[in-house]
Amino acid sequence: MTTAVNIDSLRINEARLWDSLMELAKIGATPKGGVCRLTLTDLDRQGRDLVTRWGREAGLEITIDKIGNGFMRRAGRNNTLPPVIAGSHIDTQPTGGKFDGNYGVLAALEVVRTLNDHGIQTEAPIEVAFWTNEEGSRFVPVMMGSGVFAKAFTLEHAYAATDTEGKSVKDELTRIGYVGPQEPGDHPMGSYFEAHIEQGPVLEDNNTTIGVVQGVLGIRWFDCTVTGMEAHAGPTPMALRKDAMQVSTRLMQEIVAAAHRHPPHGRGTVGMVHVHPNSRNVIPGRVKFSIDLRNSTDTLVDTMADEVKAFAAALAKETGLGIQIELVSSYPAQAFHPECSSAVARAAEKLGYSNMPAVSGAGHDAVYMARLAPSGMIFIPCKDGISHNEIESATSEHIAAGCNVLLHAMLEKAFLATA
């Protein structure tokens, strides 16, 4: 039986994990040092093939479900127990980096390799998961594989999604050979962990190695259309204009102000603007723009949205311009399980890594897993907080630290597992 001393002194192989990340990054490598490995492409198949080959070499039993999610299982002493699972995704953005998603999968694989190196058998099985189409850059919805697994939407809905060329998820999954026999969701799960680069600047700004993620921000996306009247920029006096752009900018400032009124996790962003007729010497007659509101609870997000809508109504009355705000997407806030967050924090403390509570402003597969089983996330810093970018970067030291925390958090759950 493995002793407590052996467990406490256990560390992953930093060089092996780094080399694995760099080897996977060669598939779809871009000239600027990033990765373009869109979901269900030939490159995605090559990435999946490499990861599953590594899994087989580590002695893992591999199961693929009908949406292409992969589970690589290391048996425990009591295989009737639900497994402790860790993972993420290996599809990337068109101009993605080496670490987003990939780190979570290969860190989980490195946990298994480390246990193999030391001959450690856990009570519960341990599994490495990779989820289909987390990024949503080729097919929507985002977090597709984990969403189907969690019954957030149906397999048929996912299968029917098409890319810009009209190719469907079902056809492309079949083409690359990753339609498995298992029904999505018919896979036991005791607990779930996901290691990830932060994709933001908070850890780096605080000179902290580990983020103990408490949850994922709730998100509301709206489209706003402000309608005025286009007119000639020269002959039309300022007082007589119905300038949709100027009214829009006042509302855009309110979106940012609403986020500032609800700290520390309030976020307000206008990321997309369409101006009509978009001519140098014409007063804009119509402006359509996106509104992205986020906060740590659904109540706070909805409060921000209500404030923005009230401001828009008052602005429309004041200016006489039409302002229409339409909800286009809503993602509920998701808190992670206190026991999983505590396991991450204990592991970081035991290993001597600086750590702090963190929230995720981006969606992850762990959001859907948290609906099914106790779940948690581990963040490590990424340089300048940059992600979804070819220059995305993380240090080998931080990569190893996050994986060591993952190892000990998973071991805590795998040894304490009960039926």
4-216+333-416: CATH topology is: Aminopeptidase (3.40.630)
Q: CA separation (Å) from 385 to 157, 197, 199, 292, 391?
A: 34, 9, 5, 19, 11
What does the mean pLDDT of the chain come to? 96
Q: What is the mean pLDDT of residues 196-222?
A: 97
d(CA 327, CA 80): 45
For the domain 221-331, what is the CATH code? 3.30.70.360
State the Cα angle at 110 between 105 and 113, rounded to 5°: 135
Domain assignments of the chain as residue spans, ordered by start: 4-216+333-416, 221-331
**153-155-159 Cα angle (round to 5):** 115
Q: What percent of the chain is modeled with pLDDT above 70?
A: 98
With 80 as the cut, is the pLDDT of residue 331 above it?
Answer: yes
Calculate mean pLDDT across residues 255-262: 98
> Residue 6: is its pLDDT beyond 80?
no
Residue 4 has pLDDT above 50, yes or no: no
Q: Where does 21-138 show beta strands of DSSP type E?
A: 61-64, 70-74, 84-88, 126-130
Give me the pLDDT at residue 1, please: 41
pLDDT class for 286, splitting at 50, 70, 90?
A: very high
The span from the CA of 302 to the CA of 222, in Å, is 12
Strand partners, 222: 291, 327
Q: Three-state DSSP class for 188?
A: coil
Three-state DSSP class for residue 278: coil
Q: Confidence class of residue 417 from pLDDT cuts 50, 70 and 90?
A: low
Angle made by CA atoms 372, 373, 377, in degrees to the nearest 5? 110
pLDDT band at 416 (very low <50, low <70, confident <90, very high): low
The residues facing 195 across adjacent strands are 378
pLDDT at 361 over 80: yes
pLDDT at residue 262 greater than cutoff 60: yes
Percentage of residues of the chain with pLDDT beyond 90: 96
291-322 confidence digits (pLDDT tens): 999 999 999 999 999 999 999 999 999 999 99
Which helix (H) or strand (E) element contains residue 219? strand 218-227
pLDDT digits (tens, 9 = 90+) for 124-134: 999 999 999 99
Whether 221-331 and 4-216+333-416 are alike in CATH topology: the answer is no
